[in-house]
A and B are shown apart, each in its own frame.
Chain A
Amino acid sequence: MRITCPCCGERDLGEFSYHGESGTERPDPATPEAARKFFEYVYLRSNPAGPHEELWFHGAGCRSWLVVRRDTVTNQIFWVARAADRCAGAST
């Protein structure tokens, strides 16, 4: 498996480290349901067999956090984006 980093181009998997499912949002500790929401945020995963959006860190390259959409059954990668750009896109 190789990942095409938006900054560095196509690179070997060994350059990257994996964090896990992306898109999970840290709950606000002040909300009344905070304990349950934190439990879900920290421990529960959708873990699909198929397309999965996940966070990778390009530690041996540009040191960017990346969001990768990848099929967990075939390892086909659909797209890769910088997490910073995704966050900026989400907030505008």
Chain B
Amino acid sequence: MRYSVFSLLGNALTGHTQWTPAWRDASPKDHYDVLIVGGGGHGLATAYYLAKNHGISNVAVLEKGWIGSGNAGRNTTIIRSNYLLPGNLPFYEWSMKLWEGLERELNFNTMVSQRGVLNLYHSDPQRDAFARRGNAMRLHGVDAELLDRDQVARLVPYLDFEDARFPIKGGLLQRRGGTARHDAVVWGYARAADMRGVDIIQNCEVVGLRVAAGCVVGVDTTRGFIGASKIGLAVAGSTSRLADMAGLRLPIESHVLQAFVTESVKPILDRVITFGAGHFYISQSDKGGLVFGGDIDGYNSYAQRGNLPTVEDVCEGGMAVMPMLGRVRILRMWGGIMDMSMDGSPIIDRTPIDRLYLNCGWCYGGFKATPASGWCFAHLIAHDETDPFAAAYRLDRFATGHLIDERGAGAQPNLH
């Protein structure tokens, strides 16, 4: 069913009893042309673009839980393309462009809201670094504005401008950045992929990868063996577990990232703000909750819950930049498992095993990359060659020294 004002009116007249499920609850077939392991945003987007851009619709997406149960439903929903390095900028800008047309593309309200992302700076060297990043963005055709203190104060007067320890000296603003409704993104891609013939198989966990003569042939799952000509892994924090089934060791560590939402309050925060002297980012959801987060906990973890020192650190960052936060109560906090790569940048590439493809290393910035990640991964799987937008995201870059280290932190994943 195509969603429109007419379908809404028609269903209103029948008391909303005629709506059909957004996608079929498919059972696995014996064999698929392409299997995507992982029914998060990246996996579903990959399946959608395989069908739409490359005409491959004999595709299944395997999800161990339900659609939206993993990191797709656990992030802080920020979209932006304010990167510095040439390997990253064109990719994230392509993602931004896909976000801008996503609702029409998917016929689904993903609530993309370009409310602007403002990165605050607190010192002269940080201003210079932001100016450099803003210039790099503009050279790549991405919008960026460097604001001074007074411009920031006019834009967001409720921040703490009197703080002597971390004075706000200005900010780098990307007006086209913002937020999107995270659940709607996976639902929208799932529905659009399903309409093009993709099977979305939930509650189906992969327990083994079958390889014959150096070539992948299928997966063992909790619902039996499923054969496939090609297999793509898009499983975020579980990447090392899946790769281990194929005997691969990867430049990945899994870490837990916590996020928080407060009780609903009236609209106070009309953009995304990040604190530059610590690590803290915040926006307000349409429901009114203030959604925020900070650093990862910093130790290897597969537990979808974090520890209190990080909670304290995040809240201190929030209080330093926006003291009124002390008056609201946190409603929920949760954790998701991030696939932290050794240089802080992702991997979209082949593996040493034929017809097994890898999409991982998103660290804690995977949500904004969802459309372009699917776009590029679909291209890689369909043509066995790298999409130009993801040309730098090679698995062998760690061995060859072509790292993409935005932060300059080195091979220490908990610092990226």
Contact = CB atoms under 8 A, between A and B. Distances in A.
Do A and B form a real pair?
Answer: yes
Interface stretch (B110-118, B210-218, B258-266, B306-314): B306-314
B139 to A, nearest CB: 30
Nearest to B342: A43
Interface in B50-97: none
Contacts of B244: 46, 48
Contacts of A49: 238, 240-241, 254, 302
Nearest to A46: B249
A45 B251 contact: yes
B252 A47 contact: yes
Instruction: Say which size band chain B's interface belongs to.
Output: 20 to 34
B312 A14 contact: yes
B411 A52 contact: no
Given A43-B398, A72-B303, A75-B303, A18 B414 contact: yes
Interface string A58-92: 00000000000000111100000000000000000
Interface string B228-245: 000000000010110010
A71 B154 CA distance: 49
B5 interface: no
B300 A47 contact: yes
A13 B411 CA distance: 23
A8 interface: no
A38 to B, nearest CB: 10
Nearest to B238: A49
Interface in A8-59: 12-14, 17-18, 20-21, 36, 39-40, 42-49, 52, 54, 56
A13 B308 CA distance: 8
Given A12-B309, A18-B298, A39-B399, A45 B303 contact: no
Contact of B254 (A14, A39, A47): A47
Nearest to B341: A43
Given A1-B307, A72-B254, A54 B249 contact: no
B103 to A, nearest CB: 37
Interface string B279-320: 000000000000000000011111100011100100000000
B412 interface: yes
Contacts of A20: 253, 300, 412-414
B250 interface: yes
Contacts of A48: 240, 244
B251 A54 contact: no
Instruction: Say which size band chain A's interface belongs to.
Output: 20 to 34
Contact of A42 (B249, B253, B302, B411): B411
A14 B308 CA distance: 8
Nearest to A35: B399
Contacts of B252: 45, 47
Given A20-B253, A45-B250, A13 B414 contact: no
B254 A13 contact: no
Contacts of B307: 1, 13, 75
Contacts of B412: 20
Interface in B375-414: 398-399, 411-414
A31 B342 CA distance: 24
Contacts of A52: 300
A45 B301 contact: no
A57 to B, nearest CB: 12
13 contacts: A13-B308, A14-B309, A17-B298, A21-B300, A40-B249, A42-B398, A43-B251, A44-B250, A46-B240, A49-B238, A49-B241, A54-B300, A74-B303
Interface of B: 238, 240-241, 244, 249-254, 298-303, 307-309, 312, 342, 398-399, 411-414
Given A20-B412, A20-B413, A42-B398, 17 more contacts: A1-B307, A13-B307, A14-B309, A14-B312, A17-B298, A40-B249, A42-B411, A44-B251, A45-B251, A45-B252, A46-B244, A46-B249, A47-B253, A48-B244, A49-B254, A75-B303, A75-B307
Which 5 A-B residue pairs are closest in the complex by CB-CB distance?
Answer: A47-B240, A14-B309, A43-B251, A43-B398, A49-B302
Interface of A: 1, 12-14, 17-18, 20-21, 36, 39-40, 42-49, 52, 54, 56, 72-75
